[in-house]
């Protein structure tokens, strides 16, 4: 397994979790208000997202993306409110 | 101002706020443990980041980046623990 991991190297997958359109983003709304109060009123809209950067060992890129999708379904996102983008990242 | 905003269109700046190396990322550690328990042990390391997507109106891209930097300094990040990347995004 160690030899295989060495041969394949590390694979990084970036999971981006956003709120679906229509779901209230309370943090974003708070930032919009605060920026206006701070004198930066040209910000018309703020949206937020959470990034989970997963570093895999011993698997290739397609297997890593599949496992990342599994992690999203079972842990990282709630399909009722979240929209998710999964992509491989090369350093 | 409305005419100027129309002419310049909307400019989006993505602010990515990460924890500096050495700062404990409790959420990432919790995810690493949970993924191992869920039977996805090939994830060697998890890091997290917060994305703030700022949509500006009435300013050009360089001014938007400057204002986003101002927003980072005054609201979005803590220089003691955070590392920040600011970049313009074209749709």
Q: What is the pLDDT of residues B63-88, one digit of tens each?
A: 999 999 999 999 999 999 999 999 99
Taking an 8 Å cut-off on Cβ atoms, the answer to whether A75 and B44 are in contact is no
B54 closest CB neighbour out of A43, A55, A75 = A43
Taking an 8 Å cut-off on Cβ atoms, the answer to whether A40 and B16 are in contact is no
Q: What is the pLDDT of residues A2-39, one digit of tens each?
A: 444 445 678 999 999 999 999 999 999 999 999 999 99
Q: What is the pLDDT of residues B9-31, one digit of tens each?
A: 789 999 999 999 999 999 999 99
Chain A residues with beta carbon closer than 8 angstroms to that of B71: 35, 38, 40, 43
Q: What is the pLDDT of residues A52-72, one digit of tens each?
A: 999 999 999 999 999 999 999
Percent pLDDT > 90 in chain B is 85
Please, which contacts does A43-47 make with residues 24 or more away whose CB atoms are closer than 8 Å? A43/B54, A43/B55, A43/B56, A43/B67, A43/B71, A44/B10, A44/B55, A44/B56, A44/B57, A45/B54, A45/B55, A46/B52, A46/B53, A46/B54, A46/B55, A47/A18, A47/A19, A47/B52, A47/B53, A47/B55
What chain A holds in terms of domains, given with CATH numbers, is 2-22+50-89 (3.30.1280.10)
> Tell me, what's the ipTM?
0.87
Contact A15, A84 (CB under 8 A): yes
Contact A40, B70 (CB under 8 A): yes
């Amino acid at each position: 397994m160690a030899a295989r991991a060495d041969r394949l190297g590390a694979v990084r997958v970036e999971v981006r979790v956003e709120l679906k359109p229509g779901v209230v983003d309370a943090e974003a709304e708070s930032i919009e208000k605060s920026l206006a109060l701070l004198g930066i009123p040209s910000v018309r809209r703020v949206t937020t997202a959470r990034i989970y950067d997963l570093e895999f060992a011993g698997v290739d890129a397609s297997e890593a993306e599949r496992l990342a999708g599994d992690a999203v379904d079972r842990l990282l996102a709630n399909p009722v409110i979240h929209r998710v983008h999964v992509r491989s990242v090369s350093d």
